[in-house]
């Protein structure tokens, strides 16, 4: 992972930590979800976020996971392969007083979480690295998802056909600039 020059910031847009600023680690591949897309996503998720067990895979800034906790998720497991990112996630959790499981691991390899199975997964891998298909296959084949789980998928541009398992169904989608966002329901 390449380094940026300095830390950025983002703000939590809703819930108990609304307005709190979070540091974004200076790692090139970390690209926080925009406020507008997060607002749309959490409007989509409002009926299911309370009490949900969530996984923030390729956690990066942690914006999606911390937003979920702010809005009433029961727990979030953050996973990222960058030591700098994991350190910043730990500092953010401490700063907010958040109870979170933070794992330094490759997103598509074996890891153990005390919080599985998950009701909701945030899947926002680094762009242009062909990680969507292996991440979806990993989630689907490792007993990580609850029955009727939801997956939020953020990608670079649209796909004619998403590389997701056939029993995953897109129920919402939005395009913002070069980013496409999908809310997927897994049977």
- pLDDT by residue for the chain (187 residues), tens only, comes to 445 456 688 899 999 999 999 988 777 766 778 889 999 999 999 999 999 999 999 999 999 999 999 999 999 999 999 999 999 999 999 999 998 999 999 988 878 888 889 999 999 998 888 899 999 999 999 889 999 999 999 998 767 778 899 999 999 999 988 899 999 999 8
| H or E element in which residue 10 lies | strand 8-11
Full set of structural domains in the chain with CATH:
8-186 (3.40.50.150)
The pLDDT assigned to 26 comes to 77
**Residue 2 has what pLDDT?**
47
What contacts 24+ positions apart, CB below 8 Å, involve 45-53? 45/71, 45/120, 45/150, 45/152, 45/183, 46/71, 48/119, 48/120, 48/150, 49/73, 49/120, 52/119, 52/120, 53/115, 53/116, 53/117, 53/118, 53/119, 53/120, 53/146
């Amino acid at each position: 992972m390449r380094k940026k020059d300095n830390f950025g910031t983002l703000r939590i847009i809703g819930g108990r930590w609304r307005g709190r600023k979070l540091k974004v680690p200076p790692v090139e591949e970390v690209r926080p979800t925009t406020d507008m897309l997060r607002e749309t996503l959490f409007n989509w998720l409002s009926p299911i976020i309370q009490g949900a067990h969530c996984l923030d895979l390729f956690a990066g800034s942690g914006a999606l996971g911390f937003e979920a906790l702010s809005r009433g998720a029961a727990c979030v497991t953050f996973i990222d392969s960058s030591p700098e990112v994991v350190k910043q996630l730990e500092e953010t959790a401490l700063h907010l007083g958040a109870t979170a499981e933070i794992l330094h691991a490759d997103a598509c390899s074996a890891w153990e979480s005390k919080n599985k199975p998950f009701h909701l997964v945030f899947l926002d891998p680094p762009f242009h690295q062909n990680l969507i298909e292996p991440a979806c296959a990993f989630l689907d084949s490792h007993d990580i998802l609850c029955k009727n789980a939801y997956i939020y998928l953020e990608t670079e541009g649209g796909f004619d056909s998403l590389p997701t398992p056939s029993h995953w169904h897109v129920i919402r989608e939005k395009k913002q600039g070069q980013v496409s966002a999908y809310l997927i329901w897994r049977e």
